Structure 1
Amino acid sequence: MAPYFIHNLIPRRQACQEGRPLLVALRGITLLQYSMFFSGWIAWTVDAIDFFSVSLSITNLQHTFNLTDPADITSSITLTLLFRPIGAVIFGILSDRFGRKWPLVGNLLLVASLSLATSFTRTFHQFLAVRSLFGVAMGGIWGLAAATALENLPSEVHGLASGVLQQGYAIGYLVSAIVNLRLVPESSAGWRTMFWTSSSIAFFAAAFRSALPESRIFVFAKQAELTQGTSAGNKSKVFLHETWVMLKTHWILAIYSVLLMTGFNFLSHGSQDLYPTYLKVSKGFSDYHATVATIISNCGAVAGGTIAGLVSQYIGRRLTIILFIMLIGVFIPLWILPFTFSALSAGAFWIQFGVQGAWGVVPIQLSEISPPAFRATFPGVAYQLGNMISSASAQIEATGAHHLRKMVAQNGVLISVPDYATVQGILIGAVAAFVVFITIVGPE
């Protein structure tokens, strides 16, 4: 007999069992629905490309701005994450109020412009200022992208679609790593090339979304408003009142969602943001091998997210999250203890398989538990508030590793290096336990 909490985690009624088989539902999706999904997916991918362009360029940025401590550069990552909730609120409200299309187009154009501006910064203070503004622009992407991609699809494919959507994040990291591996060394502009690439993809994403119509679900909601006789003059007042009522009614759900997203963002940023630095500083890898290991880890992320999204359609969202988080705990030793490229790459693959596998369930989980009228604002704000709370993860690791050092042999000589391995292992282990707990006590 399975424990009670396992029964509680498995939904009593499954969408795939009640509705059409998955393959039948997939064949029934129209070209427009696929296009809407792709527009949301590529928007989320653009977000990740730019964000990880900084993580992969920490050493080069230190040289450009004459900085000696990696924690100085990670402060820009912290600022980006701190300002993202502002963008989530602004663009989420605009999307729920005026539609999915033009707020996302405007958001992507702002991302493209600020990404381009990042490449032209000449001082560290300019860099920090642009990255802070970029945080506002990035903050709006996730909620709008998830609403655009998922709300027009049939419910039978929501789990799989959620996993594929969330792996836009891993694909973005993968694109950044490939650009850093192949294009940056060949370009006289160096790390700035990464932001030119990010900006061009963001402009393409904005153009693609502008060529598509408004979300069908949003159009139906607006038609219902007209039927009810809601006038243009009082729409904003009514919307703000309904937002306040939603927060008063669902405040426990809001707190739960923020706590869940805090744990998830600590997991992803704690395992990814300083991973290339960890391999180079603590394990003595070259830039090339550190980047290749990053690419391997993101292959694990893509596989995990897609599989987990599909699995969640059958066993439920929460149980899927718990199983993939437990997988992380199993592979932490392989992720931090070895010194060979093959072993560490294998550990990175399976850690990200678990991290992004659990993450693959998040878009549809947040969308399904959100109040229906706020499916751009509620998930986006919860996600970005979690980002804000976890924004210091890179600095926590950098500072902790700086003070917790160990001796390693490099080129036959013992030297003292920051112990990123121990710090990351402790952080990820503790956060994984927290996410399992908060998932168990939460709603399906």
Structure 2
Amino acid sequence: MQNEAAEPTAKGIIPTIRQSFGDLFRWQIRTEIIEENEYGETTVRYEWQNPPPLVNPISLFAQLSASNWLFFVVGFIAWTADAFDFHALSIQTVKLAKYYKTNNSKITEAITLTLLLRSVGAAFFGLAGDKYGRKWPMVVNMIVLGLLQIATIYTVTFNQFLAVRSLFGLFMGGVYGNAVAMALENCPVNARGLMSGIMQQGYSFGYVLAACANLGVGGATETWKTVFWIAAGISIAVGLIRCCFPESKQFIEARKAGKKAKAPSAFWAETKQMLRLEWKMCIYCIILMTWFNFYSHTSQDSYTTFMLQGKELNNPQASRASILMKTGACVGGCVIGYLSQWVGRRRAMVGAALISAVLIPAWILPQGERSLSASGFFMQFFVQGAWGVIPIHLNELSPPAFRSSFPGLTYQIGNMISSPSAQIVNEISEMVKVTAPSGNRVKAYGPVMGIATAIIALGIAVTAAVGPEKRGRRFETARVAGMVAPSDVESNGVAEKTSIEHDEMDEKKDQKV
């Protein structure tokens, strides 16, 4: 029996918003079907198709080959090391404030500068990853990050500290795009939701490791340096390990497909063409990632400080609660990322964001380590659950030849816009006082974080509800940007088609019935 016919994909911003919002409440998927007759003529029609059945995750794991797992694991540990480096600062704000004889909001200026400059690194290393491969840009990233962690340890003044952390942000920004592209681009299509959820939780796992290191070294002021030494060792080790493994298979095959015709400056010309054709998608993804980065940094970066100063816990108690909170994030990201393959990317994000908004009172009102650990676990289950969909969602929305630069750049520009989030939370919290159960007047971290997170969660739900979705998009055959196939080179050596045009044609062929 033939599926029900569907209207074509809407064109224009307002029609797309209406169509996307309506599709959110329909279980079936609007699918483009390309049919070709015996004469090579093609016709396009649209129909509603049932989503793929929910597959046992064990069988999804089994679909990945040894090389798929190799690339995924290397990408995951690179993202984990990147997160450890970042959170080595955020979870030790109180120690660093004492060491540099300043307040918490001043220390969070370093977080702001790091996030602000990550977009520059994302642009540079993301484009390098699309042109030269995933391997060597990542190697440089990780080794330099480790060296900058060591340089941070030897800063004497607060201004030196801020300068080093600014430089750190430049190199930190290049990790995400290359790591995600390398980890996910060779995964089987129906396993990508699950693997995306696991991949994104490298961020949470890095936080857990940093919190464990903080717990292990104790609460003395000087111990922050030990955590930074550990972070430096992990980053440098990941860079050296990456040297020992080959380039991404997908990138090598894509380069071979176009190696016979490489026009000068073709890569930069296609980058400009991509921005000209896909500027609306770029802006949408930047808005979405701005919301998401506010979401995570507002609900996480000051949480340890909230428990130490707002709930009056000691360092071991706050560290244990942070570890359990991020354990919930790891679990939630994997579970909801996996479910997104069945329920859809946007439904998964909208549902997780709304549930997290409902949980906010239970997240900030309890007292004591056990209650805060439990509420933090479930809150971050849904916060990072929504995040678990992001790696594959950005990869599916991105132009196929730019799957390193597009996700990394939109992610990091969102990071740049949201960079003052931790500083804003600290500034407002220090200006407002609330009464703790002990009777002491403490900084209002709980109310400030709760109100901000509620607004952000609703913003995510609305933005995802009206945006596009390309679940199941096939991009395995995408050519490297700047490359063209030998068959598309005229006798005078000029390419007739760009890789962007090729990818559009190949993607339609992949959807052919």
| TM class by smaller structure | over 0.9
CA distance in 2, matches of 1:147, 1:37: 9
Return the index of the structure with the highest Cα Rg.
2
Q: Is the contact between residue 10 and residue 315 of structure 1 (CA under 8 Å) also seen in structure 2?
A: no
In structure 2, which of residues 209, 228, 252 is the aligned counterpart of residue 219 of structure 1? 252
Gaps of 5+ in 2: 1-20, 31-48, 470-513
- 1:186-233 CA-partner distances (Å, limit 9, x unpaired): 9x9511111111111111211221111111111122112224x225xx
- 1:12-67 CA-partner distances (Å, limit 9, x unpaired): 5577449x875444223222211110110011101110111111111111111111
CA distance in 2, matches of 1:32, 1:333: 45
The one-letter code of the counterpart of 1:109 is I
Question: Residues 8 and 380 of structure 1: is their aligned pair in 2 closer, same or farther, counting only changes over 3 Å?
Answer: farther
- 1:386-430 CA-partner distances (Å, limit 9, x unpaired): 0011111111111111222122343xxx33221111111110000
Q: Is the contact between residue 15 and residue 155 of structure 1 (CA under 8 Å) also seen in structure 2?
A: no
CA distance in 1, matches of 2:340, 2:87: 28
Determine whether 1:350 maps to 2:375: no
Gaps of 5+ in 1: none
1:426 is paired with a residue whose SS is: helix
Determine whether 1:47 maps to 2:64: no
Q: Is the contact between residue 332 and residue 385 of structure 2 (CA under 8 Å) also seen in structure 1?
A: yes
Determine whether 1:368 maps to 2:370: no
Cα displacement (A) at 1:185: 5.2
Residue 7 of structure 1 corresponds to which residue in structure 2? 25
CA distance in 1, matches of 2:274, 2:28: 27
**If the length of structure 2 is used for normalisation, what is the TM-score?**
0.81
Report the count of equivalent residues.
Answer: 431
The one-letter code of the counterpart of 2:29 is P
- 1:280-320 CA-partner distances (Å, limit 9, x unpaired): 11111111111111011011001100101110111111101
Q: Is the contact between residue 332 and residue 351 of structure 1 (CA under 8 Å) also seen in structure 2?
A: yes
Determine whether 1:64 maps to 2:96: no
Question: Residues 34 and 15 of structure 1: is their aligned pair in 2 closer, same or farther, counting only changes over 3 Å?
Answer: farther
Residue 334 of structure 1 corresponds to which residue in structure 2? 362
Q: Is the contact between residue 352 and residue 383 of structure 2 (CA under 8 Å) also seen in structure 1?
A: yes
Residue 206 of structure 2 corresponds to which residue in structure 1? 172
5 Å-filtered alignment, 1:34-433, equals 34-67=69-102, 69-184=103-218, 190-227=223-260, 229-231=261-263, 234=264, 237-410=265-438, 414-433=439-458
**CA RMSD between the two structures:** 1.8
Q: Is the contact between residue 27 and residue 50 of structure 2 (CA under 8 Å) also seen in structure 1?
A: no
Identity %: 41
The one-letter code of the counterpart of 2:234 is I
CA distance in 2, matches of 1:100, 1:5: 36
- 1:226-258 CA-partner distances (Å, limit 9, x unpaired): 24x225xx1xx1111101110110111000000
The one-letter code of the counterpart of 1:429 is A
CA distance in 1, matches of 2:192, 2:294: 25
Residue 5 of structure 2 corresponds to which residue in structure 1? none
Cα displacement (A) at 1:9: 7.2
Residue 508 of structure 2 corresponds to which residue in structure 1? none
Q: Is the contact between residue 9 and residue 440 of structure 1 (CA under 8 Å) also seen in structure 2?
A: no
Q: Which structure shows the bigger proportion of residues in helix conformation?
A: 1
Q: Is the contact between residue 16 and residue 22 of structure 1 (CA under 8 Å) also seen in structure 2?
A: no
Q: Is the contact between residue 184 and residue 194 of structure 1 (CA under 8 Å) also seen in structure 2?
A: no
Q: Is the contact between residue 14 and residue 314 of structure 1 (CA under 8 Å) also seen in structure 2?
A: no
Q: Is the contact between residue 21 and residue 156 of structure 1 (CA under 8 Å) also seen in structure 2?
A: no
